[in-house]
Amino acid sequence: MKPVIHLIVAARPNFMKIAPLYHKLKQLNLFDIVFVHTGQHYDINMSASFLNDLSLPKPDINLGIGSGTHAEQTGYVMISYEKVLIENPPDWIVVAGDVNSTLACTVTAKKLNLKVAHLEAGLRSYDRTMPEEINRIVTDTLADVLWTPSEDADVNLRNEGIENSRIIRVGNMMIDSFEFLRNIIENQNTREHLGLHPKKYGIITLHRPSNVDSCYTLCPIISAITELAEKTKLVFPIHPRTQRMASKYDLLAKLQKNDNIVLVEPLRYVEFMNLVIQSQFVITDSGGIQEETTYLNIPCMTLRKNTERPITCSQGTNRLVNYDDLNICHEEILKGKWPHGRKPDLWDGKTATRVVNSLESLIA
Ligand code: UD1
């Protein structure tokens, strides 16, 4: 009998991290793969379109937990996933990233003495007001194997007293997904379709609770974006959380009326990356986009006070900024003064191979 591995996905950023591993494992045919979706993200454009773009199948198991408070989401995943694990315990469980489901599946599996590997381990913002930071710390404390993307992650884990034997640096899996789909991404016509000219527009994405959940932060951010839109065209694929908050604070109409802001629903992965590769700059509070822009050498302004991905600032094109810095930063970009970056080590499209090698030796 082949060893059984659960691959867990939950929310939008997980799909790009699990897809390359899924395909590599299927190709090798050494393991039985059970593809588990917790259902944390459930809209077509937050979930199914990503499965499609990344050639992932319909999940074998969908826990269907949906939205809720942190405790509700975490609790529902634990209750549902525990039943699955008790009925058919796998040999290994692979969780990715830092969403509520990552923590919930890890805690559930470890309470049943099952083996867990964490992909994208060791990232730390050192800001415990971020829900994701709590998820990272708990997951890394419990998981048996910690697959890290970069040296800073290894250092964070060692500083927390984690044994070297649990830490394995594998690189950045997001880059594998991008390279896997590069041709398809380049051949999309999303930019033309939205009437944008190459390198003449910026992209905005926002969804962090610290930016969007209160008018105290969201209102000045939207004002700064509107001011920037007087000088350049902006495209804004709006996350469901942000759309709900913008509507609550009467900001949505302001965005919709602005001819220089192209407000669109969340885009499919290949559509979004088609926009990114041809953009002049990106303004974001996402984690993954900080990495993708570093890899693609595109200026990135991150609207946050900290980042769990400091390598994108020290080696890449990312800068942490405040909303009132956006205009000055834009001028620097126009003058060609924005620092160029370099690709961090092991962000090379071969991370899935390293992860599979690691899994093979763990199971041997
Ligand atoms: C979650 C992750 C975050 C990740 C982000 C990517 C946690 C704590 N947060 O945040 O780390 O960067 O996903 O998007 O796990 N909603 C929909 N349709 C969906 C999903 C969500 O309409 O398919 C709405 C719901 O009303 C929900 C809100 O968006 O209340 C937020 O969704 P939720 O999964 O709680 O968190 P995200 O903000 O998406």
Q: Which atom of ligand 1 is nearest to the CA of 287?
A: 12
* CA distances in angstroms from 82 to 104, 114, 234, listed in the order given: 10, 11, 45
206 CA to middle of ligand 1, Å? 12
Percent pLDDT > 70 in the chain is: 100
**108-115: average pLDDT:** 98
Q: Of 212, 241, 265, 290, which is best to mutate to test ligand 1, by the most ligand atoms within 8 angstroms of its C-beta?
A: 241
Banded pLDDT at 364 (limits 50, 70, 90): confident
CA diameter of the chain: 63
Q: Of 12, 15, 41, 242, which is best to mutate to test ligand 1, by the most ligand atoms within 8 angstroms of its C-beta?
A: 41
In this predicted model, what pLDDT tens digit does every residue of 203-259 receive, in sequence order?
999 999 999 999 999 999 999 999 999 999 999 999 999 999 999 999 999 999 999
Exposed, middle or buried: residue 149 (CB in 10 Å: 0-12, 13-18, 19+)? Answer: buried
308 CA to middle of ligand 1, Å? 19
Walk me through the domains of the chain, giving residue ranges and CATH numbers: 4-172+347-363 (3.40.50.2000), 183-334 (3.40.50.2000)
Query: Pick the residue with more confidence: 171 or 364?
Result: 171
Nearest residue by C-alpha to atom 13 in ligand 1: 11
**102-107: average pLDDT:** 98
Mapped to the 3 state alphabet, what secondary structure does 274-316 carry?
HHHHCCCEEEECCCHHHHHHHHHCCCEEECCCCCCCCHHHHCC
Mapped onto helix, strand or coil, the DSSP state of residue 65 is: coil
109 CA to middle of ligand 1, Å? 23
Q: What φ, ψ does residue 42 adopt, rounded to 5°?
A: -135, -15
In this predicted model, what pLDDT tens digit does every residue of 26-58 receive, in sequence order?
999 999 999 999 999 999 999 999 999 999 999
Nearest residue by C-alpha to atom 15 in ligand 1: 99
Which residues lie with the beta carbon below 6 Å from any ligand 1 atom? 11-13, 40-43, 46-47, 67, 98-100, 131-132, 207, 239-241
Of the candidates 37, 45, 14, 22, the residue with the CA atom closest to the CA atom of residue 272? 45
240 CA to middle of ligand 1, Å? 8
Q: Determine the pLDDT at residue 78.
A: 98
The crossing angle, in degrees rounded to 10, of helices 240-248 and 215-228 is 100
Q: Which atom of ligand 1 is nearest to the CA of 43?
A: 23
Q: Determine the pLDDT at residue 203.
A: 98
In this predicted model, what pLDDT tens digit does every residue of 140-199 receive, in sequence order?
999 999 999 999 999 999 999 999 999 999 999 999 999 999 999 999 999 999 999 999
Q: Which atom of ligand 1 is nearest to the CA of 288?
A: 12
Nearest residue by C-alpha to atom 33 in ligand 1: 67
The yes-or-no verdict on residue 288 having pLDDT over 90 is yes
Cα–Cα distance, 169 to 148 (Å, whole number): 5
Q: Of 40, 133, 247, which is best to mutate to test ligand 1, by the most ligand atoms within 8 angstroms of its C-beta?
A: 40
Q: Of 8, 50, 67, 130, which is best to mutate to test ligand 1, by the most ligand atoms within 8 angstroms of its C-beta?
A: 67
Q: Residue 300's Cα: distance from chain center in Å? A: 15
Strands (E), 131-288: 145-148, 167-169, 201-205, 233-237, 261-264, 281-284
Nearest residue by C-alpha to atom 6 in ligand 1: 12
In this predicted model, what pLDDT tens digit does every residue of 312-337 receive, in sequence order?
999 999 999 999 999 999 999 999 99
Nearest residue by C-alpha to atom 16 in ligand 1: 240
In this predicted model, what pLDDT tens digit does every residue of 52-82 receive, in sequence order?
999 999 999 999 999 999 999 999 999 999 9
Nearest residue by C-alpha to atom 4 in ligand 1: 99
DSSP string of 67-111, one letter each residue: S--HHHHHHHHHHHHHHHHHHS--SEEEEETTSHHHHHHHHHHHH
Nearest residue by C-alpha to atom 20 in ligand 1: 41
- The residues that are catalytic are 207
